């Protein structure tokens, strides 16, 4: 794995956001957003990992940065589970690195855009066993959530922020909403925000993220 981009805050870090980019992007994709958020979060470190470059079936087999292979658009679960598990282990390794460096995992937020969001959903609710501070799901879906989704009792208190564009033609809004609803049925404290945008990020959304992070981290 390539070295993540790490953005240190202006004061000694007491919290961390691990933020995964989307398909075909890179670790620098959310650097401007992270720096903007750090203007409000003076003690929050941002860790921006880089997905490996590997072939993506739905894109003609072209190699590009991806957290997992997408085998078909339908069904939504037609993905490489082996690569999903590898990416989840990458995220777990990043959590453990921050923990071992002195950050309480209860103050670590997982975030992901599009494919990156699918990985953090899988990691937070189905793989990582320790505490977490929260999860941000941007323009994403949860291909590993089944209809009979079961989660550990400790996960039922994990705050989740779902953000999606109403005009998203890449990850359709109903796919994002399905992940939200699956968690809501399990009484997870999950919030849904929808914006007049496509598969992208807008300023209003960033402002909502900043407010949510300040609340969750008591910053």
Peptide bond into 192 cis (omega under 30): no
Enclosing domain of residue 96 = 5-217
**1 SS3 class:** coil
Which tens digits make up the pLDDT trace of 11-65?
Answer: 999 999 999 999 999 999 999 999 999 999 999 999 999 999 999 999 999 999 9
Can you give the pLDDT at residue 183? 97
Please tell me the distance from the alpha carbon of residue 89 to that of residue 101, in angstroms, as a whole number.
18
Using the predicted structure, report yes or no on whether residue 3 has a pLDDT greater than 80.
yes
**Other Cβ atoms within 10 Å of 195 Cβ, number:** 19
Q: Which helix (H) or strand (E) holds 5?
A: strand 5-7
Cβ neighbourhood burial of 64 (10 Å; 0-12, 13-18, 19+): middle
For this structure, is 114 an active site residue? yes
Q: pTM for this one? A: 0.97
In this predicted model, which residue has the larger pLDDT, 47 or 148? 47
Which tens digits make up the pLDDT trace of 169-193?
Answer: 999 999 999 999 999 999 999 999 9
Can you give the pLDDT at residue 4? 97
For this structure, is 87 an active site residue? no
Please tell me the distance from the alpha carbon of residue 161 to that of residue 169, in angstroms, as a whole number.
21
Residue given tokens 């075909």 in the structure block: 24
Catalytic residue, candidates 15, 139, 168, 180: 168
Catalytic residue, candidates 69, 114, 122, 164: 114
Inter-helix orientation angle 115-122/81-100, to 10°: 70
- Closest to 34 (Cα-Cα) out of 10, 51, 53, 52: 10
Q: How many percent of the chain have pLDDT more than 90?
A: 92
Using the predicted structure, report yes or no on whether residue 112 has a pLDDT greater than 80.
yes
Q: Could you tell me the CATH number of the domain that includes residue 62?
A: 3.40.50.1820
Please state the domain count of the chain. 1
Residue given tokens 């033609």 in the structure block: 169
- Closest to 115 (Cα-Cα) out of 64, 150, 181, 43: 64
Can you give the pLDDT at residue 76? 72
Kindly report the average pLDDT of the chain as a whole number.
96
Catalytic residue, candidates 21, 122, 164, 199: 199
**187 SS3 class:** coil
Can you give the pLDDT at residue 70? 95
For this structure, is 69 an active site residue? no
Please tell me the distance from the alpha carbon of residue 219 to that of residue 170, in angstroms, as a whole number.
34
């Amino acid at each position: 794995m390539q070295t993540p981009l790490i953005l240190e805050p202006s004061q000694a870090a007491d919290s961390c956001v691990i933020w995964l980019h989307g398909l075909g992007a890179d670790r620098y994709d959310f650097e401007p957003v992270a720096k903007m958020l750090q203007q409000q979060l003076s003690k929050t470190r941002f860790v921006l990992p880089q997905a490996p470059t590997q072939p993506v079936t739905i894109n003609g087999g072209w190699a590009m940065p991806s957290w997992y292979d997408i085998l078909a658009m339908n069904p939504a679960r037609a993905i490489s589970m082996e690569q999903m598990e590898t990416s989840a282990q990458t995220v777990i390794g990043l959590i453990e690195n921050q923990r071992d460096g002195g950050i309480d995992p209860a103050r670590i937020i997982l975030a992901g855009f599009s494919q990156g969001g699918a990985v953090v959903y899988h990691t937070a609710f189905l793989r990582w066993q320790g505490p977490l501070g929260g999860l941000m799901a941007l323009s994403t879906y949860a291909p590993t959530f089944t209809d009979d989704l079961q989660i550990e009792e400790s996960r039922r208190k994990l705050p989740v922020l779902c953000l999606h564009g109403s005009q998203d033609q890449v990850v359709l809004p109903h796919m994002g909403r399905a992940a939200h609803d699956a968690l809501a049925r399990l009484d997870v404290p999950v919030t849904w925000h929808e914006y007049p945008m496509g598969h992208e990020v807008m300023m209003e959304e960033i402002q909502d993220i900043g407010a949510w992070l300040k609340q969750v981290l008591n910053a």
